[in-house]
Amino acid sequence: MNYAFIFPGQGSQSIGMGKDFYDNFELAKELFHLASDTLGFNMQELCFQDNEKINQTQYTQPAIFLVSYIAHSILQEESPLLAKLALGHSLGEISAVSVANGLSFEDALILTHKRGLLMQQACEGKDAGMMVIVGLDDAKLEHFCQEQQNNGKSIWCANYNGDGQIVLAGKKADLASVEGSLKELGAKRALLLPMSVASHCPLLSSMTEDFTKLIEPMLKENFSLPVISNATTNSYDNKQDAILLLSDQLTKPVLYKQSIQKIDSQIDAYIEFGCGNVLKGLNKRLSQKNTFSITDTTSLKDFLATL
């Protein structure tokens, strides 16, 4: 079987994420404690107890990475599997690089935390936000965004999640101002998301240099499997390409839909690692192949039963 390992990004987090693994696997406990020691804050409290930090990007990102990494590590411990390639959605691309042995566990934790801090800093005072649009085709929405940019508004296509589902990024006031126009254009839904950053658009350009300096000493020279770039849909497996592509990803849209369409003929099934089943939901509209989500002991056992 040719598997693609896939990893979710922000929006997949929830209180209780990873707790089932923590309660049932010694490896999960060890990784949670190592993550807490590495970052200097309590990852069990962040992931298991009600708190506001879980939705603050500098904490959300390492939490999502940690649970994805644990899910993948436990599967490998129970039944080692080789993937043909790895793919992440936004933040998930860093998880993909890590399981491809392009980043150590500790460095990936530090990177996701600092990436979140840099994103927050880059968006301070910019009234940044994101909006999900449902029911418009890509070309129509891209043309609309270009018209708005020509009129001085900060609005860009940021995430291509599936046919008729795109997330926009930009300034909240600009996004809110076009909600009516988007519905007149035929959008079934135009909803502002509860976010204080605008990912994958030029509003993050001020952090690109700092991010590149941060990631350069962390990356390994060569990876153990190819990773699909969100920014280009092409695969890469080395440090030189990763520096460029992971930096480009900050200001360019996530081409998730296009990536799945491009690799689907090479893949027999997808395995999603982490909290929830966001990518499984997206994949239902993009592929006829199975997507298995490994989120807890039950879903792990269900997947192992298919082998």
State the catalytic residues: 90, 200
Strands 222-228, 235-238: pairing kind: antiparallel
d(CA 287, CA 200): 24
Q: Please list the residues that pair with 236 across neighbouring strands.
A: 227
Q: Collapsing DSSP states into helix, strand and coil, what is residue 61?
A: helix
- Record the tokens describing residue 25, joined without a space: 């696997």
Contacts of 30 (CB under 8 A, 6+ apart): none
Strands 3-7, 269-273: pairing kind: parallel
- Record the tokens describing residue 254, joined without a space: 């996530």
In contact, 7 and 93? CB cutoff 8 Å? yes
Amino acid 103 reads: L
Residues present in the chain in total? 307
